[in-house]
Chains A and B, each alone.
Chain A
Amino acid sequence: MQNNSKKKRLISGQMLLFEFRNVIGNPYVHIFGVGMPVLMMIIITRAVAGEMPEGPILSAAMTSIFLGIGALIPMATIFMGYGVSHAQELEKGIPQRLELFGIKISVTLCNRILSEMLFMIIAFVIYFAAGYGFAEVEPPTVSGVILYLLCILVLSMILFCLAHAISSLIKKFGATYCVTMILYFVQMILGGMMGISYDNMPSPMQAVAKLLPVTYINRDFGTVWKGEHYNFGPMVQSYLLMGAAAGILLFVTLRKERRELH
């Protein structure tokens, strides 16, 4: 068969470029994945600056807000953006059409996740440029910046698996949009990004909030950013729990999607 050797490669330049074009062709990710976090970060840090005297406390508050809102980028670009676009493609039968051309789901998934990550990195570069341009974000320690990027990266992968599983199980654009949007806002609210901080939440809300990685990114990363001592135990547990849920859902989905040829 023609070009067989190229198709068998899990990651190829052409597939990567194809998936990247797919990502940037989705207007949603530009609006909610880049525009909205930048805008929110500027508005909220300005509002905080208006109410607090200049000094180290203001910088710390701004840094914390900046890092917390940064978590919206993978939630919008990957969780909602990919989820919705994949559901739309499923509705049209595009993934199946690609599979019938001999492009395996594993190839599509690998190239797509890399493309999503690439887009997210670009979104973060813009976000950081805006952050350092418009807000008084404290300079990080090396360990702080590495840990922040690592946490965002792992969260992104978990969110990608969740988005793929949810859209594959629902298979409808409208319903997927609704479910991912609800989960997006639930994470924002419980993560303390919508006005109620973790400490002010009622205890049942806190019980759920502490299961979400975004809570720790929003609440605690100011400490990690500066290289101060931090107990990563609860945060790692939240990652493991969410990762396990996403992994199980993805496994079930991939098994359901498998073609059976005798």
Chain B
Amino acid sequence: MLLSIQNLTVRYGADTVLSIHSPVEIAEGDRVGVIGSNGAGKSTLIKSILGLVPYQGMIKTGLKPEQMAVHMQFNEYTDSMPVKYIMEAILGTKISRDRKLQELISFFEFEDCLRKKYTKLSGGQKQRFTIILVMMQNAALTFYDEVTSGLDFETRQKLVEKLVEWYQGKDASFLMVSHYYEELDQLADKLLILDNGQVIDYGGREELFRRYCGRAVIITGNTERNMTLLSGFEKLASPAHLIALSCESEEKENRIVRLLLEHDINYKRSNNDIEMLYINAKARADKAGREAGGMPGSGGKENHAK
């Protein structure tokens, strides 16, 4: 076990911003995606693990601080010199003498940026700069906090592709906070779902998907015609413009698909859609909270998948 979190509470003044009761454990090789809306406690979780915010409770790890690497949401460096020198000083090496660093620079296509100062780099180049430094740390556990936020679609795609390629075949663990579910789709095999500072659930992606969405989901547009046609089926929670149907069995899935095909209706089928998983996990937690007499988002949480 690389890291174990139990009974963790983080307070900013009088506000409790993060409260984790059941153990959250990260094992070697785990690739954990952390999802939740703004203010859910995602960045606070990373900061508490790194000892950057005071907390109560237990974060147990055998890792030394230098065995954990982090790509923070905002990374700034001095602007007094070209990034080449910053890179060499931080890593304690010379680019010209370090094959691994040369490979990483080339892998992330950063050669032309080395002579530039940090503020002269574009958003994507800045992210790649920190990623190179983080990866050179070769840490047992790496944290990525919204590594692609603020980047345009194309740059984001390219960066994620590079990360996927880099981690392929490696057994390094990471914890990645992201609002872009398609990124986690490619990178994460476990999910930690946070809401309002509390854990809704934590576990393997497939396991969580089955728990909240069933075997598969069929998603189609939310039109009056589709609504009437699919009125006989129980709906999952979904964004307002969509209808999502849970397919608990193959037989039910076939019935829905046949019906949609007969009426020439476009649909999407998924057995691992993170957005659907998140929406339904949150909806279930809110419902449990309401039933428990609390405010939506304040109860029925901590359903850790075993």
Answer whether residue A89 sits at the interface, using C-beta atoms and an 8 A cutoff. yes
Q: Please tell me if the beta carbons of A3 and B93 are within 8 angstroms of each other in the complex.
A: yes
**Distance (whole angstroms) from the CB of B10 to the closest CB of chain A:** 13
Docked complex: B65-116 residues within 8 A CB-CB of A: 65-67, 69-70, 72, 74-81, 85-86, 88-94, 100
Q: Chain B residues near A25 (CB, 8 Å)?
A: 78-81
Answer whether residue A143 sits at the interface, using C-beta atoms and an 8 A cutoff. no
What number of A-B contacts does a CB cutoff of 8 Å give? 90
**Distance (whole angstroms) from the CB of B62 to the closest CB of chain A:** 11
User: A15-B89, A100-B50, A262-B58 are contacts. A1–B78 as well, Cβ < 8 Å?
Assistant: no
User: A6-B92, A7-B92 are contacts. A262–B78 as well, Cβ < 8 Å?
Assistant: no
Q: Chain B residues near A175 (CB, 8 Å)?
A: none
Q: Please tell me if the beta carbons of B76 and A97 are within 8 angstroms of each other in the complex.
A: yes
6 contacts between A and B (CB under 8 A): A15-B89, A18-B85, A18-B86, A22-B80, A93-B72, A261-B51
Q: How large is the interface on B (under 10, 10 to 19, 20 to 34, 35 or more residues)?
A: 35 or more
Q: Please tell me if the beta carbons of A2 and B100 are within 8 angstroms of each other in the complex.
A: yes
Q: Say which residue of A1, A14, A96, A97 sits within 8 Å of B66 (CB atoms).
A: A1
Q: Please tell me if the beta carbons of B100 and A97 are within 8 angstroms of each other in the complex.
A: no
Answer whether residue A12 sits at the interface, using C-beta atoms and an 8 A cutoff. yes
Answer whether residue A17 sits at the interface, using C-beta atoms and an 8 A cutoff. yes
**Distance (whole angstroms) from the CB of B24 to the closest CB of chain A:** 15
B58, B77, B133: residue with the most chain A Cβ atoms closer than 10 Å: B77
Taken together as a complex, chains A and B put the C-alpha atoms of A18 and B60 apart, in Å, by 35
Partner-binding segment picked from B134-142, B180-188, B192-200: B134-142
Answer whether residue B54 sits at the interface, using C-beta atoms and an 8 A cutoff. yes
Q: Please tell me if the beta carbons of B80 and A259 are within 8 angstroms of each other in the complex.
A: no
Q: Please tell me if the beta carbons of B85 and A21 are within 8 angstroms of each other in the complex.
A: yes
Q: Chain B residues near A259 (CB, 8 Å)?
A: 50-52, 65
Q: Please tell me if the beta carbons of A97 and B91 are within 8 angstroms of each other in the complex.
A: no
Taken together as a complex, chains A and B put the C-alpha atoms of A25 and B77 apart, in Å, by 13
Answer whether residue A260 sits at the interface, using C-beta atoms and an 8 A cutoff. yes
Taken together as a complex, chains A and B put the C-alpha atoms of A3 and B70 apart, in Å, by 17
Docked complex: A69-108 residues within 8 A CB-CB of B: 89, 92-94, 96-98, 100-103
User: A1-B137, A2-B137, A96-B52 are contacts. A102–B66 as well, Cβ < 8 Å?
Assistant: yes
Q: Chain A residues near B279 (CB, 8 Å)?
A: none
Answer whether residue B283 sits at the interface, using C-beta atoms and an 8 A cutoff. no
Q: Chain B residues near A6 (CB, 8 Å)?
A: 92-93
Taken together as a complex, chains A and B put the C-alpha atoms of A240 and B37 apart, in Å, by 54
Q: Chain A residues near B58 (CB, 8 Å)?
A: 262
Q: Chain B residues near A14 (CB, 8 Å)?
A: 88-89, 92-94
Taken together as a complex, chains A and B put the C-alpha atoms of A260 and B52 apart, in Å, by 7
Q: Chain B residues near A7 (CB, 8 Å)?
A: 66, 92
Q: Please tell me if the beta carbons of B60 and A262 are within 8 angstroms of each other in the complex.
A: yes
Answer whether residue B2 sits at the interface, using C-beta atoms and an 8 A cutoff. no
Answer whether residue A4 sits at the interface, using C-beta atoms and an 8 A cutoff. yes
Taken together as a complex, chains A and B put the C-alpha atoms of A18 and B87 apart, in Å, by 10
Answer whether residue A237 sits at the interface, using C-beta atoms and an 8 A cutoff. no
Docked complex: A1-47 residues within 8 A CB-CB of B: 1-4, 6-7, 12, 14-15, 17-18, 21-22, 24-26
Q: Please tell me if the beta carbons of A21 and B50 are within 8 angstroms of each other in the complex.
A: no
